[in-house]
Amino acid sequence: MDGPEFDSWTRRRFGLAAGSVLAALVGSDAVDARKKRCKKLGARCRRNGKRKCCGQLKCDATGFAGQRPTVCCRKQGKPCGDDRDCCDGLGCSGSPLVCSAQCLSDRNAKTGFGSVDPADMLERVRALPISTWNYTSDDPVVRHIGPMAQDFAATFGVGADDRHIHPLDGQGVALAAIQALIAQLEQVRAENTRLTARVIALERASGAGGQPLPGSRSPAGTLLNTATPTPRRQERPMSMVHTHTETMSEEAYREFALSGPEGKWELVRGRLWEKPAVTVAHSRVIMTLVRLLVQQLDPNQFRVSFGLARLRAFADTYYMPDVVVIPAETMLKLGVNPHALDAYPEPMPLVVEAWSPSTGKRDMELKLPDYQGRGDLEIWYIHPYERTLTAWRRLPNGDYSATIYRDGIVRPASLPHVAISLDELFAS
């Protein structure tokens, strides 16, 4: 049977020409390769070359094989066997396997790792030209936004060429820049915390009664004018008797503290401050709280320090809270060094201050904002005369919620197995 007879037979038998039947049986790509001498899947090619890729194949770089030469590859949504079948920016995934815009990022498929400076990435992003545009092959109404591949390659030095932007490269640059912005935000929050404390101090000194403006918030988000306990009696002003006016560096303070000076000395904004004597009620409530915490905490997990440990808020500020719960592992690591100061920059599970006439104002002006700026998980302010406990708890977004307790049981969110009875805490 010659060619014309075979073609006539296939038309009568299948209703199709012989070429169409053969294509259905062995695949259009193979038929096109035989008839048109086109290039098959994986064959090297040239864009706009005389010999085209077969069928719906495209002449492009493959997605994740790292091949710079262009080859005939499959477009998005087409069946594939592995990533090398798919065109640039596509991976072979799904069930059934098709070429899709899902980027391979397996650690085991990578090598040549290098570090990234987020601050440097942010500066490069700042200088990267970004504009709106449309592809020459698209309808002008279809607009896009983004950088040019040439500018991206020149700015960041990544990618196979300067005509494409790999999705992973764009995501990596964006994530690094976001990390830099987060670091800057944390610095601004810390500085705002310090400035807020100073503004409150100036308001008190100018006769504003020590109250922030209605509805004002600390940088950490706590409503200061609603969360601050009000002492029953008028507090006396902070006396300069307990301070040294000359400034002291962080290194000098640590050496001074390790020298064993008489009294308890804090460093506040670069100046020494001696903690004054406390009232009987203050001492009683603190000792009761320490006893309750020690009874309920596992010493292998947490240690309780009262009036001895220091918390580093800034390089020029070290506080000695009335009570602080410290993770045992953190304390043991510090204890390995016989010359280490008992001071911690890390956020703590629980920090406690108790009101007394000589320190109540200072605790609210300086310590509370600085503890929040440190990121301590829970901060308690106990008023032994008003019989109240105010708890500031850190939220996942970095803000603090404030709750005032006057009776019942208080359970620290950071120490879920601890329950403090206020009746027992304030018992005469």
Q: What is the pLDDT of residues 100-156, one digit of tens each?
A: 876 778 888 789 999 999 999 999 999 999 999 998 888 889 999 999 999 999 999
Q: What are phi and psi of 196, to 5 degrees?
A: -60, -45
The pLDDT value recorded for residue 295 is 94
The angle formed by the CA atoms of residues 343, 345 and 350, to the nearest 5 degrees, is 85
Q: Which of these three, 210, 239, 267, is where a domain ends?
A: 210
Q: What is the pLDDT of residues 294-307, one digit of tens each?
A: 999 999 999 999 88
67 assigned to some structural domain = yes
User: Average pLDDT for residues 238-251, to the nearest whole number?
Assistant: 62
The pLDDT value recorded for residue 107 is 87
246 assigned to some structural domain = yes
* Percentage with pLDDT > 90 across the chain: 39
Report whether 361 contacts 235 (CB < 8 A): yes
- 359 plus 328 within the same structural domain: yes
More confident residue, 123 or 6: 123
Instruction: Name which of 178-192, 213-227, 346-360 the model is least confident about.
Output: 213-227
The pLDDT value recorded for residue 243 is 55
112 assigned to some structural domain = no
Instruction: Name which of 97-101, 201-205, 311-315 the model is least confident about.
Output: 201-205
Query: Tokens 């890729």, residue?
Result: 53
The pLDDT value recorded for residue 65 is 43
Task: Name the CA dihedral angle for 206, 209, 213, 217, rounded to a multiple of 10 degrees.
Answer: 100
CA 247 to chain centre: 35
Could you tell me the CATH number of the domain that includes residue 231?
3.90.1570.10
- 315 plus 259 within the same structural domain: yes
Q: What are phi and psi of 212, to 5 degrees?
A: -65, 165
Segment 338-341 long-range contacts (CB within 8 Å, at least 24 positions apart): 339/258, 341/254, 341/257, 341/258, 341/310
110 assigned to some structural domain = no
358 assigned to some structural domain = yes
More confident residue, 355 or 14: 355
Burial class from Cβ neighbours inside 10 Å (0-12, 13-18, 19+) for residue 293 reads: buried
Looking at the predicted structure, is the pLDDT value of residue 230 above 80? Answer: no
pLDDT band for 10, please (50, 70, 90 cuts). Answer: low
CA 48 to chain centre: 47
Looking at the predicted structure, is the pLDDT value of residue 19 above 50? Answer: yes
Structural domains counted in the chain: 3
- 198 plus 223 within the same structural domain: no
The pLDDT value recorded for residue 327 is 94
- 416 plus 393 within the same structural domain: yes
The pLDDT value recorded for residue 100 is 84
Q: Which of these three, 171, 186, 210, is where a domain ends?
A: 210
The pLDDT value recorded for residue 60 is 84
**Amino acid type, 185:** L
User: Is the pTM above the cut of 0.75?
Assistant: no
- 331 plus 386 within the same structural domain: yes
DSSP code per residue over 185-232: HHHHHHHHHHHHHHHHHHHHHTTSTTPPPTT-B-TT--BHHHHSPPPS
- 201 plus 229 within the same structural domain: no
* Structural domain boundaries enclosing 402: 218-425
Which range in 26-35, 102-111, 189-198, 214-223 is most confidently predicted, on average pLDDT?
A: 102-111
Q: Residue 67 is encoded by which pair of tokens? A: 């091949």
- 300 plus 380 within the same structural domain: yes
Report whether 72 contacts 59 (CB < 8 A): yes
- 324 plus 408 within the same structural domain: yes
Q: What is the pLDDT of residues 143-160, one digit of tens each?
A: 999 999 999 999 999 988
The pLDDT value recorded for residue 241 is 37
60 assigned to some structural domain = yes
- 265 plus 205 within the same structural domain: no
- For the chain, how long is the longest CA-to-CA vector? 118
Quote the CA–CA distance of 14 and 26 in Å, as a whole number.
16
Instruction: Name which of 205-209, 210-214, 405-409 the model is least confident about.
Output: 210-214
The pLDDT value recorded for residue 148 is 95
The pLDDT value recorded for residue 207 is 52
Looking at the predicted structure, is the pLDDT value of residue 4 above 70? Answer: no
The pLDDT value recorded for residue 182 is 92
109 assigned to some structural domain = no
Q: What is the pLDDT of residues 381-393, one digit of tens each?
A: 999 999 999 999 9
Quote the CA–CA distance of 426 and 251 in Å, as a whole number.
40
Average confidence score pLDDT of the chain: 80
The pLDDT value recorded for residue 2 is 57
Q: Which of these three, 210, 232, 255, is where a domain ends?
A: 210
371 assigned to some structural domain = yes
Q: Give the length of the chain.
A: 428
- 25 plus 164 within the same structural domain: no
- 202 plus 222 within the same structural domain: no
Q: Which helix (H) or strand (E) holds 349?
A: none
- 291 plus 407 within the same structural domain: yes
Task: Name the CA dihedral angle for 317, 320, 322, 327, rounded to a multiple of 10 degrees.
Answer: 100
The pLDDT value recorded for residue 188 is 84
